[in-house]
Chains A and B, each alone.
Chain A
Amino acid sequence: MSERDALRETLAARAGAAWEIYSKRSRVREHRWSAGIVEESEREETGFAARWQRGPVSAFAAGTSPRQTRDALDLSESFAAPGPAAAFPGGSFPEAGPEPAPPSPANPAEELAPLVAGESKGAVRLVSVFSASAVVTESLENGSGLSAMQHRSSGYLLAQAAAQSEERRASVRLLVPAGGESAAAPRLARAIADRCAVALKGGPMPLARGELLLDPSIGAAILSATLPLFCGREHRTLLSRKYLDRGGRFGAELLTLLDEPAPGARFDGEGSPCRARAVVESGIFRSRLHDLVSARRCGESPTGNAWRPSYRRPPSPGSACLRLVAKAATPAPELLAGVGRGLCAVSLLAPVSVDLEEDRLELEVDGWIVERGRARGAVAKARVSGRLSEFWRGIVAAGDDPRAFLEATQICVPSLLVARAVFRFA
Chain B
Amino acid sequence: MTSAATQDLDVEQLARWIEPLGRDGFADLLLEWRSELSLALGGGEVTGGTVVSESACSARARRGGRVVLAAVPGADEAAAREAVRRLAGELASPHFPKAESARETAPPGIGDPARWARRMTGLLQRLFEAHAWRAEMRRCDLRRLIVPAGGSPLRWERVLVSLRGAVRMDTRGGPRWRDFAIHVPSEDGGSIEEMRHLLRPLTAPGAAPVAPPDGTRDVLLAEGAAAFLFHEVLSHPLEADAAGSRLLSLARAKVAPRELDVWDEPARLDLFGGYPADEEGTPGRRTPLLSAGHLGGPLRDRLHSDALHPSTGNGRRPGPHDHAAPRGSNVVVGAGGASEEEMIHRLGSGLRIAELDSGAVDPATGVFRLRFSAGQIVQRGRLAQPVSGGILEGDVLDALAAVDPLLGARVFPCRRLGWCARDGKILPAGGEAPSLIVRRLAVRAR
List A residues at the B interface (Cβ < 8 Å): 32, 34-47, 59-65, 67-69, 71-72, 75-76, 78-81, 83, 125, 127-128, 160, 162, 164, 168-171, 312-314, 350, 353
Q: With A37-B65, A45-B73 in contact, is A62–B107 under 8 Å at CB?
A: no
A43 to B73, CA, bound (A): 9
B323→A61 contact, CB < 8 A: no
Q: Is the Cβ of A46 less than 8 Å from the Cβ of B71? A: no
Task: List 11 contacting pairs A-B, 8 Å CB cutoff, sorted by A.
Answer: A40-B90, A41-B70, A44-B71, A71-B110, A75-B114, A79-B49, A81-B47, A128-B243, A162-B364, A312-B50, A312-B54
Q: Is the CB of B71 within 8 A of A76?
A: no
Q: How far is the CA of A67 from the CA of B28 in the complex (A)?
A: 27
Question: Would you call the interface of chain A mostly helix, strand, loop, or mixed?
Answer: strand
Nearest opposing residue in chain A for B42, CB measure: A81
- B49 near A64 (CB under 8 angstroms)? no
Contacts of A35 in B (CB 8 A): 241, 243
In the bound assembly, the distance between CA atoms of A24 and B50 in angstroms comes to: 17
Q: How far is the CA of A289 from the CA of B40 in the complex (A)?
A: 23
Q: Which of A32, A42, A170 has the most CB of B within 10 A?
A: A42
List 7 additional A-B contacts (Cβ < 8 Å) besides A61-B50, A68-B107, A72-B52: A35-B241, A43-B58, A45-B321, A75-B114, A76-B49, A80-B49, A169-B246
Q: How close is A69's CB to chain B, nearest CB, in angstroms?
A: 7
Using an 8 Å CB-CB cutoff, how does the interface string of B88-114 with A read, 1 for contact, 0 for none? 001000000000000000110110111
Instruction: Judge whether B197 is part of the interface by a CB distance below 8 angstroms.
Output: no
Q: A39-B67, A71-B53, A127-B243 are in contact. Are A44 and B364 (CB under 8 A)?
A: no
CA gap between A34 and B39 in the complex, in Å: 39
Q: Does B55 contact A (CB under 8 A)?
A: yes
The main secondary structure of chain B at its interface with chain A is: strand
Partner of B323, one of A41, A81, A164, A312: A41
Are B69 and A34 within 8 A (Cβ)?
A: no
The smallest C-beta distance from B98 to any residue of chain A, in angstroms, reads 21
Among the listed B72, B303, B323, B362, which residue makes an inter-chain contact with A44, where contact means beta carbons less than 8 Å apart?
A: B72
Q: Across the interface, name the chain B residue whose C-beta is closest to A80.
A: B49
Q: Do A45 and B71 touch across chains, with their CB atoms under 8 A apart?
A: yes
Smallest Cβ-Cβ distance to B304: which chain A residue: A37
Is B231 located at the chain interface by the 8 A CB criterion? no
Look across to chain A and name the residue whose beta carbon is closest to the beta carbon of B48. Answer: A81
For A171, give its contact among B47, B114, B365, B446 (CB under 8 Å).
Answer: B365
Contacts of A32 in B (CB 8 A): 323
Given contacts A41-B321, A353-B446, contact A169 B364 (CB under 8 A): yes
Complex CA distance for A80 and B65, rounded to whole angstroms: 50
A350 — nearest CB in chain B belongs to which residue?
Answer: B369
- Contact code string B5-47 (vs A, CB < 8 Å = 1, else 0): 0000000000000000000000000000001110110000111
Partner of A72, one of B53, B70, B244: B53
Q: Are A34 and B243 in contact (CB under 8 A)?
A: yes
Q: Collect the chain B residues with CB atoms within 8 Å of residue A60's CB.
A: 49-51
Q: Does B283 contact A (CB under 8 A)?
A: no
Residues A62 and B69 in contact, CB atoms below 8 Å apart? no
Nearest CB to that of B364 among chain A residues?
A: A171
B86 within 8 A of A: yes
**Contact between A59 and B65 (Cβ–Cβ < 8 Å)?**
no
The residue in chain A whose Cβ has the minimal distance to the Cβ of B367 is A349
Interface residue from A79, A83, A127, A312 paired with B117 (Cβ < 8 Å): A79
Distance between Cα atoms of A80 and B50 in the complex (Å): 8
Cα(A209)–Cα(B56), bound, Å: 54
Tell me the complex Cα distance, A69–B68, Å: 30
Q: Tell me if B66 is interfacial: C-beta within 8 Å of chain A.
A: yes
Q: Are A71 and B365 in contact (CB under 8 A)?
A: no
From known contacts A62-B50, A72-B110, A169-B364, infer whether A38 and B90 are also in contact, taking CB-CB under 8 Å: no
A80 to B37, CA, bound (A): 12
Whether the pair B50, A169 counts as a contact (CB closer than 8 A) is no
Q: Is B54's CB under 8 angstroms from A68's CB?
A: yes
Say yes or no for B297: interface residue by CB 8 A criterion. no
